[in-house]
Amino acid sequence: MRFSRLVSALLGCALLGLPAAKEAAAAEPRVANTAKAKKAAVKPQAKSAPKVAAKPAARAAKRSSVVAARASRAMAAKAAPQKVSYSRKRIERPAVVDDPIAAFDPQLGPSLASASVLVTNQTTGEVILEKNPQAVVPIASITKLMTAMVVLDGQQSLTESLRVSEEDIDTLKGSSSRLPVGTTMTREEMLRLALMASENRAASSLARHYPGGFPAFVVAMNRKAQAIGLSDTHFLDSTGLNSSNVSSARDLTKMVAAASRYPLIREFSTTAEHEVEVAGRVRRFGNTNALVRSPEWEIGVSKTGYISESGRCLVMQAWMHDKPLIIVLLDSLGKYTRVADAQRIRKWLEAGGAQRIAVAPGARAS
């Protein structure tokens, strides 16, 4: 009897404790999950908060360092000595206006795009118009006027055949040529193409075939410059490709005047076009100065020039009002501005500047 009561009691206790155990077991996962969730929620915040705070600070520091570096470079640039060298920007160019009356000062003349200008009466030497005439600048292919004078002064046969060789290839500027290596033509034809079409290989070949070769030719060029009173002029080659070939507008008026005394220079430099046989084919060469084709102009001597250091250049002996004028236009920026400047000068003279031409009669060079 006692034993059965004991068993009953034990079974009762077991039955009473079973729901509590189940409830406790069910509660444990909930507690664990809640702890994990809280832990997971805390971890990202703990890790991300410093990063969010650090990024703006880092960016601000980086911006500050960049600003400081720029300011430092700007101060250093202002403090550094500036390099001074010849540049077209160093010579002021006023705005160019095409109205020959309103835009032109009757005393000072037209506004021109060329950096250095000189217009003189060849007969009297009177200066009609000038702008920076003393500037010593590269003259490019204007050089070929001196080349032609030295060739003609040398009194070599104009019918002698000269050959273009590899030595005549332009390795300085890499300019092209319509005269391939091996081309053979007379000295007269070489001279014509050098003056009219500004053929560099022709000018080079002329110098190489001079007595004593190229070095002797350059010496003769500088000797000739001294003989005609060119104090600002110096030559290092016969083509003008070398930017060390320099002169001033004042000197070039003298050089053009000297060149006008050579009949062949007058003829060849103003020929509009010419055909010559090259490598078995007839090729047409044109004058680099379009004004020689214009009926409005009477030109006695003409030569253009261009390399990057010189800008666009043009020198001419032109007849106006039956007077020989020498026009020198140097260092013009645009491709057509040297010709446009020449046109502006002519319009100015026709519009009232003509009284500045001396009335003394002038005989044409013969």
The token pair that represents 244 in the structure block? 């060390």
CA 222 – CA 225 distance, rounded (Å)? 5
Catalytic residue among 111, 114, 131, 144: 144
Query: Is residue 325 within 8 Å of 319, Cβ to Cβ?
Result: yes
Query: Is residue 201 within 8 Å of 174, Cβ to Cβ?
Result: no
CA 198 – CA 126 distance, rounded (Å)? 30
The token pair that represents 79 in the structure block? 């403090």
Catalytic residue among 141, 205, 238, 248: 141
Query: Is residue 104 within 8 Å of 348, Cβ to Cβ?
Result: yes
Catalytic residue among 114, 116, 198, 269: 198
Chain centroid to Cα 305, Å, comes to 14
Residues ≥6 apart with Cβ < 8 Å to 314: 289, 302, 303, 304, 305, 327, 328, 329, 332, 338, 339, 341, 342
144 is catalytic: yes
Residues in a beta bridge with 119: 129, 327
For Cα atoms 194, 197, 203, give the angle at the middle one, nearest 5 degrees: 20
- Can you tell me whether residue 309 is helix, strand or coil? coil
In angstroms, how far apart are the furthest CA atoms of the chain? 168
165 is catalytic: no
Q: Cite the beta strand spans of 164-220 per DSSP E.
A: 184-186
Q: What one-character DSSP code corresponds to residue 232?
A: S
CA distances from 233 to 12, 236, 238, 241 (A): 132, 11, 13, 15
| CA neighbor of 188 nearest in space, from 152, 153, 213 | 152
CA 111 – CA 56 distance, rounded (Å)? 58
| CA neighbor of 89 nearest in space, from 333, 312, 306 | 333
Query: Is residue 133 within 8 Å of 116, Cβ to Cβ?
Result: yes
Which positions are annotated as active-site residues? 141, 144, 198
